[in-house]
A and B are shown apart, each in its own frame.
Chain A
Amino acid sequence: GQQVMQIPQYQHVQEGEDFTTYCNSSTTLSNIQWYKQRPGGHPVFLIQLVKSGEVKKQKRLTFQFGEAKKNSSLHITATQTTDVGTYFCAGLGRDSNYQLIWGAGTKLIIKP
């Protein structure tokens, strides 16, 4: 079945360093969504990408959707302690009957 692989599983960074997480789908996606889950919290919707090659920015966060609509990335510039949490991608396959397929998440850890 359709799978979305997300890497890395964890990323430790010093505050002020950049962070990137990647998602790769086994099939072409109609769209991809990104969520953030703070420790002890629930996932919160960040953004949805729909178009091939689309790039969207939210302050220090940059989201990209690949040309083939099979991969996506989230890049955070100059991380802050408020960025700590787990970032999930979730893709909607073209033949998935509306079901989102979730990546396993990347946990961003800020080194003390």
Chain B
Amino acid sequence: KAGVTQTPRYLIKTRGQQVTLSCSPISGHRSVSWYQQTPGQGLQFLFEYFSETQRNKGNFPGRFSGRQFSNSRSEMNVSTLELGDSALYLCASSLVAGTTNYGYTFGSGTRLTVV
């Protein structure tokens, strides 16, 4: 089956611009989470969507936003980009039944560089 698809793979933006990243989860997965990873750092949780609703949110400023569509595809948007937003942005989908999360499948990520 197809994996998690993130587009674009690479992106270069200028400070002050905005950017939209896309994530298509595995078919049947209704949970989509977004993470930011900077060099040598762990995974910083941005937000999670489940059935088009934001279920959890990390400690990021309001410039970071997201949404999920009825087909479970998700987008995240970063407005007014700052140099510190340069990072690998990872999307992960999972099959959730009740309180059981059957493990995340990550996409290859979008590497964003802000100049």
Contact = CB atoms under 8 A, between A and B. Distances in A.
Contacts of B101: 31, 33, 92, 98, 100
A48 interface: yes
B103 interface: yes
Interface residues of B, number: 23
Interface residues of A, number: 21
Nearest to B59: A1
A109 to B, nearest CB: 13
B106 interface: yes
B102 to A, nearest CB: 7
Interface string A55-95: 00000000000000000000000000000000010101000
Interface of B: 31, 33, 42-43, 45, 48, 50, 55-56, 90, 92, 96, 99-109
Interface of A: 30-31, 33, 35, 41-45, 48, 88, 90, 92, 97-100, 102-105
